[in-house]
Amino acid sequence: MSRKMTQYSAEFKTKIVLEVLKGDKTINEIASEYNIIPKNIQNWKNIFLANAVVAMEPAKAVKEYKDEIEKLKAKNDEYAKIVGKLTVENNWMSGKLKSLDSKKRQAIVEFKLSDISITRQSELLGIARSGLYYSSKINEDEIAIKQHIQTIYNEIPAYIGVFGQECRSSTGHFCNEIF
């Protein structure tokens, strides 16, 4: 079984370090008296001595921390403004993009864009991702039939009826005669 690490309070550590600094006992004697590893006591002593300046001039340390906090708050406010601006622009742009027809929105999608996935692009544009991969098949026979119908339609003369309406009749009769 492993031993649970003992955590010591700041008051206890300070008491031990002050005992070491008195110089009456060595670090090893104090460590055996309190059942602590000597390396821990050495580390506590080094930390204590490194931060002794803060104990002598607490106002200076507090001022430095307050200055740092003010800088971070200013930076945070700047980022909040940027995020707000980008949110408004994003909402405006998505509204404008959604007013486009689906074919134009599908044409906007960039398949090789690494920053935004195709799924996310589809969500932003308000289109189904499955529609991006569909390509309609061109039926050559159907196109030929449509062209043939168009030529037949263009060859038949157009007649103007009684009411000024165009009338096409396969027999060539006027519209007013038919009706």
pLDDT per residue over 59-100, tens digit each? Answer: 888 888 899 999 999 999 999 999 999 999 988 888 888 888
- Which residues 6+ apart lie within 8 Å of 168 measured at CB? 153, 156, 157, 158, 159
Is the pLDDT assigned to residue 30 strictly greater than 80? yes
- Mean pLDDT of all residues in the chain? 83
CA dihedral 111, 116, 119, 121 (to 10 degrees): -80
Residue 94: closest CA among 110, 108, 80:
108
Q: Please compute the mean of the pLDDT values over residues 16-29 and round it to a whole number.
A: 92
How many whole angstroms separate alpha carbon 53 and alpha carbon 57?
6
Six-digit token string for 8: 């010591």
Rounded Cα distance between 7 and 34, Å, is: 13
pTM of the model: 0.42
Q: What percent of the chain has pLDDT over 90?
A: 36
**pLDDT of 179:** 43
- Which helix or strand (DSSP H or E) is residue 15 part of? helix 10-22
- pLDDT top residue among 83 and 130: 83
CA atoms within 13 A on the CB side of 164: 0
Could you tell me the CA-to-CA distances from 169 to 94, 112, 145, 151, 157 in Å, in that order?
50, 55, 21, 15, 8
Per the CB < 8 A criterion, the answer to whether 44 and 17 are in contact is yes
